[in-house]
Amino acid sequence: MTADSIDRDTLAALLKEDSPIESIQAVVCDLNGIMRGKRVPVSQAEKVLGGGIRMPLSIVGVDVWGEDIIDSEHVFASGDMDGICGATGRGILPVAWTSRPSALVPLWLFLESGEPFLADPRQALAAVVREYQKLGLRPVVATEMEFYLIDPEPDSAVPPISPYTGKRLDSDAILSIDELNDFGEFISDVYAECERQNVAADAAIAENGIGQFEINLLHSDDPLKAADDAVFFKRIVKGVARKHGLAATFMAKPYGTRSGNGMHVHFSLLDAEGRNVFNDGSKEGSPILRHAVAGLLRGMAETTLLFAPHFNSYRRLRPDTHAPTTIAWGYENRTAAVRIPGGSPAARRIEHRVAGADANPYLVVAAILGAALIGIRKQWTPPEPIMGRAHLPSASAKIPSEWGQAVDAFEAGEIAAEIFDPVLRSMLIACKRQEIAGFAEQVTDYEFAAYLEIV
């Protein structure tokens, strides 16, 4: 997008002498889902929106601590070349929770030739969407985002103090209206910021954990917007929480013995006439739906790394929790990794329940849509839907339960290789192996206490 194609009124208002906004955060999203970029004066807004900002292509592949990958071919071996940062089309997003008013401009990376840099996670999703367009299909995507509010002072997760009662939360409160009311000012501010940034937020509920909430984002027939919304939503929640003297976390498992944070993804497919191709009027859904399910199941083990990308992610994927552990599907079955919700056949859709809220929404949606598309193209048939508890040991093949196992499966996976560009795959694998090594070097307080004088 060039500066000539943006909202000229928005740009003019930003550059007015009396505009409160002083700076712009020009950002790209890395493979971990972290925004990285530059702060520039507001006077450079047109330059930012017109593709005048450059950043190293390697920036999308740094580890979770922001460190370059040691011996990466994409850093020093290649000269650490720059890419061109193009505006994504979301324009200028106001940010109200910083110490001084600022704005965010989301960007994505292109090569010097003008071709998309396919290791950029947003570009990876766009590539999958283009494959659907070749078939005359349009994915409709929605996400459900879970997070915890916690006390910002301690070094570990501690439930927050209720702004209403002045007492620390001490019990689970699933679907509690009182807990929603206690944190009503925070939730109202989240909705206000979502509206300012054109993030389509829907219903809010108190979830199963202490201080845990879920806000659903409305479906969109533009998967890029749906993933954008999830990325921006996480920033909004964290920023608004700080404004209210709280901290918000999307960690997959901030409490070892309480519910984890998931990011469930719902999707359906529309044809050129706007008809839902998953709907054939039956309760079971169309053959295309079952082909998509088969693709999701066959690709699940090798794409688990994208749904559970961090050390903490694997604390969530445990038996007898609300997170799936087996590669199975079912109708109205929340213990299955892939669920077909009930309701009107016209709204027939697939719910993918594996991803944690800590995952990168662009890569999650790309992996889901990519695997489903392969199943559709190859007309794969899924196994029989599971009835009852999918966590049973004999039920189905297992979702990888260890981080290193998931990295190995992603590296060897033929379906993952069909969905994602080789550069993205090599950057992500190197990133995760460096992070695994970093965690392996740490001795925890619990470990030290357990072994200090016993062994």
How many DSSP H helices and E strands does the chain contain? 13, 14
Structure-token match 């349009």, residue found: 138
Task: Spell out the residues 6+ positions from residue 125 whose beta carbon is closer than 8 angstroms to its own.
Answer: 223, 224, 227, 362, 363, 365, 366, 369
**Does residue 150 sit in helix, strand or coil?**
strand
CB atoms closer than 10 angstroms to residue 99: 5
Q: Would you say 69 and 62 are in contact if contact means Cβ atoms under 8 Å apart? A: yes
Structure-token match 């890029």, residue found: 224
Residue 214: C-alpha distances to residues 260, 381, 393 (Å) = 12, 33, 30
Task: Spell out the residues 6+ positions from residue 16 whose beta carbon is closer than 8 angstroms to its own.
Answer: none
Secondary structure letter of residue 8 according to DSSP: H
Q: Would you say 151 and 182 are in contact if contact means Cβ atoms under 8 Å apart? A: no
Q: Would you say 145 and 230 are in contact if contact means Cβ atoms under 8 Å apart? A: yes
**Residues facing residue 265 across a β-bridge:** 143, 352
Structure-token match 């590296």, residue found: 411
Q: Would you say 226 and 241 are in contact if contact means Cβ atoms under 8 Å apart? A: no
What angle do helix axes 223-243 and 184-196 make, rounded to 10 degrees? 140
Full DSSP string of 172-210 = --TT-HHHHHHTHHHHHHHHHHHHHTT--EEEEEE-SST
What angle do helix axes 287-307 and 361-378 make, rounded to 10 degrees? 140
Tens-level pLDDT at each residue, the chain (455 residues)? 333 344 556 666 666 655 678 889 999 999 999 999 999 988 888 889 888 999 999 999 999 999 999 888 877 656 678 999 999 998 889 898 888 888 899 999 999 999 999 999 999 999 999 999 999 999 999 999 999 999 998 888 888 888 877 778 776 666 566 677 788 899 999 999 999 999 999 988 887 788 899 999 999 999 999 999 999 999 999 999 999 999 999 999 999 888 999 999 999 999 999 999 999 999 899 999 999 999 999 999 999 999 999 999 999 998 877 799 999 999 999 889 999 999 899 999 999 999 999 999 999 999 999 999 999 999 999 999 988 777 665 556 999 999 999 999 999 999 999 999 999 999 999 999 999 999 999 999 999 999 998 98
Closest alpha carbon to 194 in 149, 237, 250 = 237
Domains with residue ranges and CATH for the chain: 3-119 (3.10.20.70), 129-420 (3.30.590.10)
Rounded CA separation 365/285 (Å): 21
Q: Would you say 386 and 396 are in contact if contact means Cβ atoms under 8 Å apart? A: yes
Residue 217, pLDDT score: 96
Rounded CA separation 102/310 (Å): 30
Rounded CA separation 153/148 (Å): 15
Rounded CA separation 37/35 (Å): 7
Full DSSP string of 239-283 = HHHHHTT-EEE--S-SSTTSPPPBEEEEEEEE-TTS-BTT-SSSS
Residue 18: C-alpha distances to residues 21, 92, 95, 196, 420 (Å) = 9, 17, 17, 20, 46
Residue 168, pLDDT score: 80
Closest alpha carbon to 6 in 102, 84, 107 = 107
Rounded CA separation 278/139 (Å): 11
Closest alpha carbon to 59 in 5, 95, 109 = 109
CB atoms closer than 10 angstroms to residue 314: 21
Alpha-carbon Rg of the chain, whole angstroms? Answer: 22
Q: Would you say 281 and 372 are in contact if contact means Cβ atoms under 8 Å apart? A: no
Phi, psi of 224 (to 5 degrees): -65, -40
Task: Spell out the residues 6+ positions from residue 12 whose beta carbon is closer than 8 angstroms to its own.
Answer: none
